[in-house]
Structure 1
Amino acid sequence: MRKLYHGPTSVCSQKVRVALAEIGLDYESQMLDLQKGDQFAPAYMRLNPEAVVPTLIDRDLVLVESSLIAEYLDKTYNGSAFMPDDPGLEMRVRHWLLRCLAVHAAINTLSFSTFMRDKALETKSLKEIEAAISRMPDPVLRAKRRDLYANALKSDHVAQALRHLLRTFEDMSEHIGGGAWVSGPAFGLADIGLVSYIDRLDRLGFSGLWTDDFPMIATWLDAMRARTSYAVAIAEFIPEATALAQRAGGAVHWPMLALRWRETIAESERSTAAS
């Protein structure tokens, strides 16, 4: 039996749960409370030294990194049905799985500079927040987290996140326009890899990032949410009270984020015109 260490609202955990649901695989659930710091327990860090979720144990294998786990599950238990046979489309999907690292960093930035930052500041002392940051193994990520707490949406990390998301939306729209899914004509691993990130932005009330300029993203997200895997892997893990709190918390920051987004688009247009 597979054992999954995961968090209920963790976007990377959601991605792996979607893959498991799409393939129809059962698993033993080991839920970690990331707010309490379960991910820093020595026993867990022996499995995942980065102290992040998810981690999947399958027989004698310990698997980390959500995109790799999704591809492993597809190859091992699904005959690679979610990886296109066409070499060009296969490279597209593999590229998206690599790009998920940058997309994840962008979603992390927007989450911790808005709703999650506010929530932590309301419920924890500055000393408690610093203690939690100090436990993060990666010194670069520790520095980023401190900067987001200090500067919120004024952080330079936000500018970087928005540039990544602009390219993401541009390329997603191009690929969806050329077929029903990001992966191509058929649903696949790229769609599994991206859904939790776009869903998080929407749940924070940030859909304005795509509604005007990239409407195909909304169509694609609706199609993803219509799949059974979304209901059992994402929606069922987010209580209504949590969903309402996320949207309300994000809404407070949307005016400033929208301003920075228009600046990002304008900067990209100037760069294109100058080249």
Structure 2
Amino acid sequence: MLKLYNAGTSVCSVKARIGLAEKGLAWEDELLVLPNGDQYKPAYLKLNPNGVVPTLVDGDTVVIESSVILQYIDAFFDGPQLMPQGKALQAETLVWLLRCVEIHQAINTMSFATANRERILNSKSPAEIDALIAAMPNPRLAAKRRDLIENGSDSAHLEADFYVLKRVFDDMNTALSTREWMNGDSFGMTDIALLAYIDRLDRIAMSGMWESRTPRIGAWLDAGRARPSYSRALDSYVSSQEHAKSRSVGERFWPDIGARWSAFLAA
């Protein structure tokens, strides 16, 4: 059986779980506790030297990076085809999968400037936070993490990533003006790749970033959440209490972040 090393609230883990569920595949969970640094332990780093989740193990084959996992399961397992039909849509999907690298960093910024930051500060001592950051394999990402934890929504990373998010919202809204799903006529790989990211922003109360300017995203998000694969990927992993805490924190930050977002758009 497939084994998925993942974490409950991790957006990339959610992305992989939605893909597995859409393919109708069974998998065994190996759940990591990211705030405890499970992803930096030597045994896990042998599987995934980047020290991130998810990692898919298929026999002797180890697959890292959530977008690669989606392509892997679509290519080598039976089930509904996730990649859309037609050259143009397939090319568009591949571009979106590449864009997920910068999209993920933007979502990471918004998360660690708000809900994740508060959770860490409330549960870890300064020494424990220093140890977690020191264990991160990538020095650039470690420096970013430290900046977000120290500065929160005042971090310069926010406005740098506003550019990424504006393009995502604009491009999604344009695509959804001519079709029901990002993947075309049916839900598929592009939708799976993006759903966890937009879902995270909504769950930390950042939906004001798209509701008025790019409103088609809201209907698309609701439709994606209505699918059985979404429930399979979220409901047994993240409690309603955890969701409520994240939203409550985000709501406190939104007035400031929303004002900066509006100023960014007006500039």
TM over 0.5: yes
- Please state whether the residue corresponding to 1:237 is helix, strand or coil: coil
Report the TM-score when normalising by structure 1: 0.94
Conserved in 2, the CA contact under 8 Å of 1:175 and 1:183?
no
Give the Cα separation in 1 of the matches to 2:263 and 2:163.
Answer: 10
Give the Cα separation in 1 of the matches to 2:162 and 2:236.
Answer: 29
Please provide the CA RMSD for this pair: 1.1
**Amino acid across the alignment from 1:266:** A
**Hey, what does 2:125 align to over in structure 1?**
125
Conserved in 2, the CA contact under 8 Å of 1:204 and 1:250?
yes
Deviation at 1:79? 6.8
Deviation at 1:260? 1.2
Deviation at 1:185? 2.1
Alignment deviations for residues 170-209 of structure 1 (CA, whole Å, 9 cap, x no partner): 0001111111111222221010001111111111111111
Deviation at 1:133? 0.4
Give the Cα separation in 2 of the matches to 1:32 and 1:81.
Answer: 29
Give the Cα separation in 2 of the matches to 1:143 and 1:121.
Answer: 17
**Hey, what does 2:247 align to over in structure 1?**
247
**Hey, what does 1:22 align to over in structure 2?**
22
Q: Does 2:189 align with 1:185?
A: no
Deviation at 1:80? 7.5
Q: Does 2:176 align with 1:171?
A: no
Deviation at 1:241? 1.1
**Amino acid across the alignment from 1:14:** V
**Hey, what does 1:160 align to over in structure 2?**
160
**Hey, what does 1:272 align to over in structure 2?**
none
- Please state whether the residue corresponding to 2:36 is helix, strand or coil: coil
Alignment deviations for residues 29-55 of structure 1 (CA, whole Å, 9 cap, x no partner): 111111111111111100001111000
Q: Does 2:98 align with 1:98?
A: yes
Gaps of 5+ in 2: none
Number of aligned residue pairs = 267
Conserved in 1, the CA contact under 8 Å of 2:23 and 2:81?
no
- Please state whether the residue corresponding to 1:100 is helix, strand or coil: helix
Please identify runs of 4+ aligned residues in structure 1 that moved more than 4 A.
Answer: none
**Hey, what does 1:55 align to over in structure 2?**
55
Give the Cα separation in 2 of the matches to 1:86 and 1:222.
Answer: 26
Report the TM-score when normalising by structure 2: 0.97
Percent of residue pairs identical:
45
Conserved in 2, the CA contact under 8 Å of 1:209 and 1:261?
yes
Conserved in 2, the CA contact under 8 Å of 1:109 and 1:148?
yes
Give the Cα separation in 2 of the matches to 1:73 and 1:13.
Answer: 14
Gaps of 5+ in 1: 268-275
**Hey, what does 1:238 align to over in structure 2?**
238
